[in-house]
Amino acid sequence: MKYRYEEFTWPEIREAVNGNRVAVLPVGTVEQHGPHLPLITDVLTASEMSRLAVERDPARAVLMPPVFYSFNEHHMDFPGTIAVNGETIIRYVTDIGRSLSRHGFRKILIVNGHGSNVPFLDIAARNITNETPAVSAMISWWKLIPKKLLEELRESERPGGMAHGCELETSVLLHLRPDLVQMDKAQKDINFQTPTEFFYWDLEGPSPVMFQEWFSRYSKTGTVGDPTKATAEKGAKFVAAVVERMCALIDEFRAREIRPRVDHH
């Protein structure tokens, strides 16, 4: 059964809408990930995990072509990064959702692969919900990792070991695309001095403070974290767990009732 949106014909899209399939939209970014990971890391993680989840039961979802470019101005001191203005991203992703809604899709799930996409994709998902009859939700893939699995597998220090080009991302890439990982160049880089009470970066337990400095101010290598602790075995377990929970999320989102609005004026 087909699931890649761009391979459908228009009558097939109409059928997918009639089948109440969820549109799954991966959003990454093209940016430096240290000396050992490729620029496409965040596109790869979001789109591969989405693909694996949709592929498991294509009758419930369609996989959209990923959004490659996004917001990452703070990485521009490193060669390779392509930075798009935040307002552009919000409108761009909103317009993808608006188009899907006009064709009849009513559930649009955005799967995020890039930490700095969070505020923009949150707003894009809200826009889609507010501006169309569809509803849209956004999930960053690392939020789907069960806490127990992180406790079991994580070796890098907390906080800081899992932030960017880190133990987590490198493990996942070693599983998904080992040909693109140069482990001999992976270096631990957690050099924002001792993490203070409020200023640190970690995907597992983010600081309560919203704050993003120029990356080159606190990373020498373009990495923040400890990629030397990464293995393909860990990556396989992380990916399997994320895909499992993404399948459950798609099912729940698909079954979720869209209730009528009530105008109380």
Task: Specify the stretch interacting with Zn ion by CB under 5 A; choose among 18-26, 41-49, 87-95, 216-224.
Answer: 41-49
When the beta carbons of 105 and 142 are compared against Zn ion, the nearer one is 142
Task: Specify the stretch interacting with Zn ion by CB under 5 A; choose among 35-43, 83-91, 138-146, 198-206.
Answer: 35-43
Minimum gap (Å) between residue 219 Cβ and Zn ion? 13
Interaction residues for Zn ion, span 138-157 (CB under 5 A): none
Minimum gap (Å) between residue 33 Cβ and Zn ion? 6
Nearest alpha-carbon partner for 136 in 113, 92, 106: 106
What burial letters (b/e) apply to 215-239, b meaning 16+ CB within 10 Å?
beebbebbbbbbbebbbbebbebbb
Q: Is 42 in the site for Zn ion (CB under 5 A)?
A: yes
What burial letters (b/e) apply to 163-185, b meaning 16+ CB within 10 Å?
bbbbbbbbbbbbbbbeeebeeee
Burial of residue 45 (CB within 10 Å: 0-12, 13-18, 19+) is buried
Task: Specify the stretch interacting with Zn ion by CB under 5 A; choose among 38-46, 48-56, 116-124, 213-221.
Answer: 38-46
Minimum gap (Å) between residue 191 Cβ and Zn ion? 18
Pairing of strands 22-27, 224-225: unpaired
Minimum gap (Å) between residue 25 Cβ and Zn ion? 18
Minimum gap (Å) between residue 156 Cβ and Zn ion? 15
| Site residues (vs Zn ion, CB under 5 A) | 41-42
